Amino acid sequence: MDDVWRLEVEPEVREWLELLPFRLYRRVEDKADRLLDAPTTLG
């Protein structure tokens, strides 16, 4: 059985993300996706 992971974004982080240029926003989004794909392999 696969564990289901999700990211919670705090309101102040969401506000910060909305201020980022699109290019940087996509970088953050890509890193978050990688984290969701392999949450236990950090380090």
**pLDDT tens-digit profile, the chain (43 residues):** 466 788 899 999 999 999 999 999 999 999 999 888 888 776 6
Alpha-carbon distance of 35 to 18, in angstroms, equals 20
Residue 14's alpha-carbon distances to 3, 28, 43, in angstroms, are: 25, 12, 25
Q: What dihedral angle (degrees, nearest 10) is formed by the CA atoms of 36, 37, 39, 42?
A: -120
Q: What is the per-residue pLDDT for 36?
A: 87
pTM: 0.72
Distance CA 42, CA 12 (A): 24
Query: Could you tell me where the DSSP H helices lie in the chain?
Result: 11-19, 22-37
Report the pLDDT value the prediction gives residue 7, as an integer from 0 to 100: 86
